[in-house]
């Protein structure tokens, strides 16, 4: 099994005719993902290296049965693209777009909750999701991900950081540890999918035997995750929180990565996770090493 996506997932790429959509969409296809369609208004009837392009998501879904969308369009167009896919009945959306205003993100998030409760949005501003050997949607390089084994133990990864997502994958591959699914939730203030959402999925997934979590300064998502872990997660975990030396009041990277009013500090998040029984590393490599020890004992 896998979380959110697997080998049967059929993906359409909104923005396939653009530079980023084409580059990453075709890389996903080359990895083995079922990229069945592209969507660009006004370019229906064309194709991109064999992938048919449609004017609307509804037409693409009707023709191909796509059940997931990779949204790779500019910030101004992304909110409408997300809502168009949801209205067409697409159940899983991955939006890599960076720079969407937080107000627009909040509007999209609440519209999805109100009008399309069956649709899950991953992102915006995220690297996407990969179930190694099965499906890759987004910008993660598939070659750094170790596929899971039938008997395991396999690790599920959830991360707010893009580049640290890649490092977590590679740290585990270096020691031959398989990954069931790696989910990059993104670091914007209003993510469509949270740590808690992913932790609940990993807890329920029989192919996932341990969980690795990568967080960062800003917001309260990691503290909320720690509270959820204490009550609902039985699988062993390791974690790393980026931003230990970040000065208060200064945004560091993501729009959501800012320490404000004494809240959202790396140390506070580390303390909360440690209190919940998570093995917290002081750097990404140490978090990987701690996970290697956990896996060796399963």
Secondary structure (H, E, C), 28-50: HHHHCCEEEEEECCCCCCCEECC
Measured between alpha carbons, how far is 125 from 266 in angstroms, rounded to an integer? 21
Q: Which two tokens stand for residue 150?
A: 């039938």
Instruction: List CB contacts of 49: < 8 A, sequence separation 6 or more.
Output: 26
The residue ranges of the chain whose pLDDT is under 50 are 255, 257, 259-262
Q: Which two tokens stand for residue 201?
A: 């999925």
Choose, from 24, 116, 209, 254, the residue flagged as catalytic. 254
Catalytic residue list contains 254: yes
CB of 72 closer than 8 Å to CB of 24: yes
Distances 265 to 215, 250, 281 between C-alpha atoms, Å: 11, 12, 16
- Residue 54 confidence (pLDDT): 98
- Residue 222 confidence (pLDDT): 94
Characterize 249-264 residue by residue with b for buried, 16 or more Cβ atoms within 10 angstroms of its Cβ, and e for exposed: eeebbbbbbbbeeeeb
Q: What's the Rg (C-alpha) of the chain? A: 19
Q: Which two tokens stand for residue 259?
A: 């320490």
Phi and psi torsions of 148, nearest 5°: -75, 160
Q: Which two tokens stand for residue 195?
A: 């740590």
* 3-class DSSP assignment, residue 14: strand
- Residue 254 confidence (pLDDT): 54
Backbone φ/ψ region at 262: left (φ over 0), alpha (ψ -120 to 50), beta: left
Domains and CATH numbers, the chain: 10-122 (3.40.50.720), 141-296 (3.40.50.261)
- Residue 220 confidence (pLDDT): 87
CB of 77 closer than 8 Å to CB of 21: no
- Sheet with 51-54: list strands edge to edge: 47-48, 51-54, 34-39, 10-14, 68-71, 92-95, 120-122
- Residue 287 confidence (pLDDT): 94
């Amino acid at each position: 099994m896998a979380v959110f996506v697997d080998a049967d997932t059929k993906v359409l790429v909104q923005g396939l005719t653009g530079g980023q959509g084409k580059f990453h969409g075709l890389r996903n296809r080359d990895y083995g993902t079922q990229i069945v369609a592209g969507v660009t208004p006004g370019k229906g009837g064309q194709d991109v290296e064999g992938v048919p392009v449609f004017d609307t998501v509804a037409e693409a879904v009707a023709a191909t049965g796509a059940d997931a969308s990779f949204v790779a369009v500019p910030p101004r167009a992304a909110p409408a693209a997300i809502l168009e896919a949801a209205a067409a009945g697409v159940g899983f959306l991955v939006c890599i777009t960076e720079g969407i205003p937080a107000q627009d993100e909040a509007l999209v998030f609440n519209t999805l909750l109100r009008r399309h409760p069956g649709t899950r949005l991953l992102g915006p501003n995220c690297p996407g999701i990969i179930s190694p050997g099965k499906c890759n949607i987004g910008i993660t390089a598939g070659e750094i991900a170790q596929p899971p084994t039938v008997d395991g133990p396999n690790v599920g990864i959830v991360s707010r950081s893009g580049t640290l997502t890649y490092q977590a994958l590679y740290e585990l591959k270096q020691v031959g540890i398989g990954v069931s699914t790696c989910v990059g939730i993104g670091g914007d203030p209003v993510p469509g999918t949270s740590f808690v959402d992913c932790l609940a999925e990993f807890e329920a997934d029989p192919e996932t035997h341990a969980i690795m979590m990568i967080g960062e300064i800003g917001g309260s998502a990691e503290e909320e995750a720690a509270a959820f872990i204490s009550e609902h997660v039985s699988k062993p975990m390791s974690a790393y929180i980026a931003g230990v030396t970040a000065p208060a009041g200064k945004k560091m990277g993501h729009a959501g990565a800012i320490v404000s009013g004494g809240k959202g500090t790396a140390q506070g998040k580390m303390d909360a996770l440690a209190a919940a029984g998570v093995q917290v590393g002081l750097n990404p490599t140490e978090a990987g090493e701690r996970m290697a020890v956990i896996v060796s004992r399963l």
